[in-house]
Structure 1
Amino acid sequence: MVPLPGVLGSVAPVHVAPMAGGPSTPTLVAAAARVGSFAQLAAGYTTPEALAAEIAAVRRTGAGAFGVNLFVPNPVPIGDAEYDRYRGLLAHEPGAAAVPKREDDDAWDAKVALLLADPVPVVSFTFGLPDAATVRAFRQRGTLTVQSVTDPDEARAAEERGVDALIVQGVSAGGHSAVLDPARALADRPLPELVQAVAAATALPVVAAGGIGSRDDVAAALAAGASATAVGTVVLRTDEAGTSDTHRDALVDPAFDDTVLTRAFTGRPARALVNDFVRRHPDAPLGYPALHHLTRPIRSAAAAAHDPQRLHLWAGRAWRAARTGPVADALATLLP
């Protein structure tokens, strides 16, 4: 096991993963930090101004070290004809709109500039690899950098860019896969086995993530060579998380009895509870972020109607372990 550097080496071995779209509130991040854990704000889908406000909110709590997770631009192009075909398939869905094809980079340059001008302790990257110059710039500001990877090849590529640590995400993780090439089939291998493979391929410290729902899961990842673990789904129902009531309820609804990797909502593989929308679109095309923008009106209408059958119910395979109450209590049950 390679020790984690800096502030990451002085926190508990169970971190809270960044979850874009609402769950990763400043309150959640601060509450985790107060009990000696580590958590990150999720900058994905937020504006730079909103991100700056969230950073300020965490700092006002005086809670300690925290991080920010960025979506690195790594678009998955979709042709006009295929986009129009899928848009046509969705036309009958409540809330559907004739959204023109839209590609963007999630305000990458502005968010990087913000974090270089006003540094936070840790910045992590997902979806793509930042260039080496960006990594060096963060290091010069005293910011630790962490890259999400899903296999040894990605880990080696991240090491070449100069990052300080890796988040090794297994296929059981809820929400979007961090895979760099979304067209690549994800190997369904146990997380400890994946950790061992990545640890053997690089000299960087590893944080293991994906499907962790128990103290035994944490212990297995650490025994495999991880320096820490990260959990997401298990804290979605905690008091401090910004998860919607519809999503919270679905995690304990016996009608939802499985998860699957789906492209139906965003054009990028993401693990969600199986609902009617997922079932209707098993062969959704790749196309990110265009399909994310296309389905947003449908998802917004579903959220307003409290309809779980058309909502993106991100969940990892350990979703039944999601706990209510303070996040501090949820984390305490996982510590080895």
Structure 2
Amino acid sequence: MNLQQLLGIDLPIIQAPMAGVQGPALAIAVSNAGGLGSLPCAMLAPDALRRELAAIRANTEKPFNVNFFAHEQPVADAGREAAWRAALAPYHREFGIDAATIPEGPGRLPFSHEAADLLDEFRPPVVSFHFGLPAPDLLQRVRAMGAKVLASATTVDEALWLSERGVDAVIAQGLEAGGHRGIFLSDDLTTQVGTFALVPQIVARVRVPVIAAGGIADADGVAAALALGAAGVQLGTAYMLCPEATTSALHRTALTSDAARHTALTNLFTGRPARGIVNRLMRELGPIGPAPEFPLATAAIAPLRARAEQAGSGDFSPLWAGQNVSGCRAVPAAELTRALMPDRR
């Protein structure tokens, strides 16, 4: 069974879920164009998630994907939090922010029984996970809905782990990919390799379809991934200038500037490594710094980001982007989706 048959889609194109730069409109457009639109859910409260799922159901009859994080909630470490706030203290002073008034909070929640209860109302055709998989009882609830399960792997070992637990397809996330690394069996970033090195290695070891992700920006990249054995591709950065995306004006400007040629993996914004355009915070603290464990780093950064953005600066914003922004175009998502197919240019 190929990917289109597995997921009920016309094109082997998946729009990557991108929290913070999209809502349901982008997912709807991609699904209606024949690809698989995706909705990022990790930052949505239950009421917001219900509204966005209702919007998708009201505007497409095609398959769509809902994406959740599967991380374990960390135990707060007072010493690590104090070190983090000390590193940010000069910036808090610069913007007149009283750090003592900043609450601590998780920012992003893993998939839960509450989320599963809500999904039961909508029965999404596809559910995907980042940072591994949820507990077996939760995963069984997803399967009982009839959903196909996708999950990200950044190494062959992770792909094998996912395959052993019965995922329907593996997303091979190469080092080039923007946003959060899906790494979950290790914290060692030296294990991370490029997409076109990773895909054929995973294809050779698992029996489920493999979806290539990272650095693919156009029809030639799609063709190359398929030639290496991928059953389909997942793209995120390419969609960020589409009118259906909610990418901020600051972020859009950065994506179209020379600065987008320099990205790095950083843990400064959330506590987990994620690829974004290098900005002032990353240059001055170093991209990998003393941030608390994911997702606890977000609290102390949030007011800095807000103040800087109010002043028209992205110096403290997570400007997520992959290593290849050449496919970013301000065109409707449906047009971009169709143009990604090698035989449809």
TM-score by length of 1: 0.92
| DSSP 3-state at the match of 1:90 | helix
How far off is 1:115 after superposition?
A: 1.2
Aligned to 1:14: 13
Which of 87, 99, 113 pairs up with 2:85? Answer: 87
Q: 1:26 to 1:103 in 2, by over 3 A?
A: closer
Task: Identify unmatched segments of 5+ residues in structure 2.
Answer: none
| DSSP 3-state at the match of 2:246 | coil
Aligned to 2:306: 300
How far off is 1:192 after superposition?
A: 2.3
Aligned partners of 2:53, 2:249: CA distance in 1, in Å?
25
In the TM superposition, what whole-angstrom CA distance separates every residue of 1:146-204 from its partner, at most 9, and x where no partner exists?
Answer: 11111111111112222211111111000111111462114453312211111122111
Aligned to 1:309: 315
- After superposition, residues 85-124 of structure 1 pair within 5 angstroms as 85-93=83-91, 94=95, 96=97, 97-98=99-100, 99-103=102-106, 106=109, 108-109=111-112, 110-124=114-128
1:328 paired with 2:328, answer no
Task: Identify unmatched segments of 5+ residues in structure 1.
Answer: none
In the TM superposition, what whole-angstrom CA distance separates every residue of 1:3-51 from its partner, at most 9, and x where no partner exists?
Answer: 2275525331222100012x23211111111111111100011111101
**Which deviates further from its counterpart, 275-284 or 298-307?**
298-307
Aligned partners of 1:6, 1:70: CA distance in 2, in Å?
23
**Contact 1:126–1:178 (8 Å) recurs in 2:** yes
1:3 paired with 2:2, answer yes
Aligned to 2:240: 236
Q: 1:255 to 1:170 in 2, by over 3 A?
A: closer
Aligned to 1:209: 213
Count the aligned residue pairs. 334
**Contact 1:95–1:301 (8 Å) recurs in 2:** no
Which of 283, 289, 313 pairs up with 1:284? Answer: 289
**Contact 2:22–2:246 (8 Å) recurs in 1:** yes
How far off is 1:100 after superposition?
A: 4.8
**Contact 2:16–2:38 (8 Å) recurs in 1:** yes
Aligned to 1:29: 27
**Contact 2:301–2:316 (8 Å) recurs in 1:** no
State, as a whole percentage, how many aligned pairs show the same letter: 36
Aligned partners of 1:47, 1:11: CA distance in 2, in Å?
32
Aligned partners of 1:57, 1:227: CA distance in 2, in Å?
29
| DSSP 3-state at the match of 1:125 | strand
In the TM superposition, what whole-angstrom CA distance separates every residue of 1:48-104 from its partner, at most 9, and x where no partner exists?
Answer: 110110010111113411110001133456632222111111122237534354447
Q: What is the one-letter code of the residue matched to 2:289?
A: A
Q: What is the one-letter code of the residue matched to 1:284?
A: G
| DSSP 3-state at the match of 2:149 | strand
How far off is 1:212 after superposition?
A: 0.7
Aligned to 2:324: 318
Q: What is the one-letter code of the residue matched to 1:29?
A: A
**Which deviates further from its counterpart, 154-163 or 183-192?**
183-192
**Contact 2:106–2:298 (8 Å) recurs in 1:** no
How far off is 1:139 after superposition?
A: 1.8
**Contact 2:70–2:110 (8 Å) recurs in 1:** no
TM-score by length of 2: 0.90
Aligned to 1:43: 41
Aligned partners of 1:333, 1:294: CA distance in 2, in Å?
41
